[in-house]
Amino acid sequence: MKKNILEIQNLHASINNVEILKGLNLSVNEGEIHAIMGPNGSGKSTLSKVIAGHPLYSITEGSVKLNQEDITYCEPEERANKGIFLAFQYPVEIPGVNNIDFLRLAYNEKQKKNNQPELDPLSFFDLINQKAKQVNMNPEFLTRNVNEGFSGGEKKRNEILQMALLDNKLSILDETDSGLDIDALKSISTSINNFFSSQKAIVLITHYQRLLNYIIPDFVHIMQNGKIICTGTAELAKQLEKEGYNNLLKMKNN
Ligand code: ADP
Ligand code: MG
């Protein structure tokens, strides 16, 4: 039997006392890719940040389990160490912090928490160059400051580099496809497919069906107003592309 990686039950979450997630359920097993689609403002990014433990959101009801362990009230660092990776919709620039130093810090922090050996700068240099090659990134980006002056696509690729390096069980990718031209989209999709394995799970948040031509999801969920209102296979995304959200939601609501 496939192991459950993420189990979300009746999740309600608010920011500034405004409820955004309103009773969301989601179950993700290892070896599965789930796509979450939905109109702007339906709460997709909120969901990703709540799963990762963003401190500005409060969970008011329901639970989140990772590998059958309740993490509803865990700190974000703990969640990361237990195996959650989140690629942000809007990756932040960190001026003055060198990308390779930042990546080594993140990597060593995880190694330490898992009682694994930390890497000195030289050994890390070899590892990160190998990972950069895997995700098709020019190594020049390693010596620049984190995301500073990176184009939209370069920032997204840097997130994928972090994903490949940290090698977590659950990766949540929030609109990794937005702002990518078709070549970058294909190349990033290939990196994601190569990274994926039967022991991992990926939650892809996307607005557009086109990403799902390159990364085939096992399940597609549609979110509206803080809930998953319908679940299907990759076909559902194609139907959505044809009909648009409004028509599909009208059909489902009738
Ligand atoms: P999506 O990623 O699906 O486009 P978001 O999760 O970003 O949606 O946003 C969901 C809703 O939460 C939106 O209506 C947004 O305006 C609202 N929201 C996000 N941040 C805040 C905030 N700080 N205060 C109040 N509402 C917010
Ligand atoms: Mg969003």
User: Which residue's alpha carbon is nearest to atom 5 within ligand 1?
Assistant: 43
The alpha carbon of 156 and the centre of ligand 1 are apart by a number of angstroms equal to 21
pTM, entire model: 0.94
The alpha carbon of 79 and the centre of ligand 1 are apart by a number of angstroms equal to 22
User: Which residue's alpha carbon is nearest to atom 7 within ligand 1?
Assistant: 45
Strand partners, 223: 228
CA dist 182 → 47, 55, 121, 186 (Å): 27, 35, 35, 6
User: Which residue's alpha carbon is nearest to atom 16 within ligand 1?
Assistant: 41
Do 202 and 33 form a contact (C-beta atoms < 8 A)?
yes
Do 165 and 103 form a contact (C-beta atoms < 8 A)?
yes
Give the angle subtended at the CA of 29 by the CAs of 227 and 223, to the nearest 5°. Answer: 15
Which residues, given as ranges, of the chain have pLDDT below 50? none
pLDDT of residue 208: 86
User: Which segments within 67-104 are labelled E, that is strand?
Assistant: 69-70, 84-87, 94-98
User: Which residue's alpha carbon is nearest to atom 13 within ligand 1?
Assistant: 41
User: Which residue in the block uniquely carries the two structure tokens 């597609």?
Assistant: 220
H-helix or E-strand spanning residue 211: none
User: Which residue in the block uniquely carries the two structure tokens 């990597």?
Assistant: 107
Q: Which residues line ligand 1 (CB under 6 A)?
A: 15-16, 18, 20, 38, 40-46
Which among 25, 103, 108 has a CA at the least distance from the CA of 61?
25
Do 85 and 162 form a contact (C-beta atoms < 8 A)?
yes
pLDDT of residue 254: 60
The alpha carbon of 248 and the centre of ligand 2 are apart by a number of angstroms equal to 20
Residue of 16, 20, 172, 224 to mutate, ligand 1, most atoms within 8 A of C-beta:
20
pLDDT of residue 253: 65
Which among 195, 232, 188 has a CA at the least distance from the CA of 210?
188
Closest ligand to C-alpha of residue 227 is 1
- CA 84 remoteness from chain centre: 9
Closest ligand to C-alpha of residue 88 is 2
**Rounded to whole angstroms, how far apart are CA atoms 128 and 20?**
38
Taking residue 119's Cβ as centre, other Cβ atoms within 10 Å add up to 16
In ligand 1, the atom with minimum distance to the C-alpha of 39 is 3
Which among 142, 131, 138 has a CA at the least distance from the CA of 166?
131
H-helix or E-strand spanning residue 219: strand 219-224
User: Which residue's alpha carbon is nearest to atom 1 within ligand 1?
Assistant: 41
User: Which residue's alpha carbon is nearest to atom 21 within ligand 1?
Assistant: 15
The alpha carbon of 119 and the centre of ligand 2 are apart by a number of angstroms equal to 35
Three-class SS state of 205: strand
3-class secondary structure per residue, 135-165: CCCCHHHHCCEECCCCCHHHHHHHHHHHHHH
The alpha carbon of 45 and the centre of ligand 2 are apart by a number of angstroms equal to 4
**Rounded to whole angstroms, how far apart are CA atoms 28 and 201?**
7
User: Which residue's alpha carbon is nearest to atom 23 within ligand 1?
Assistant: 15
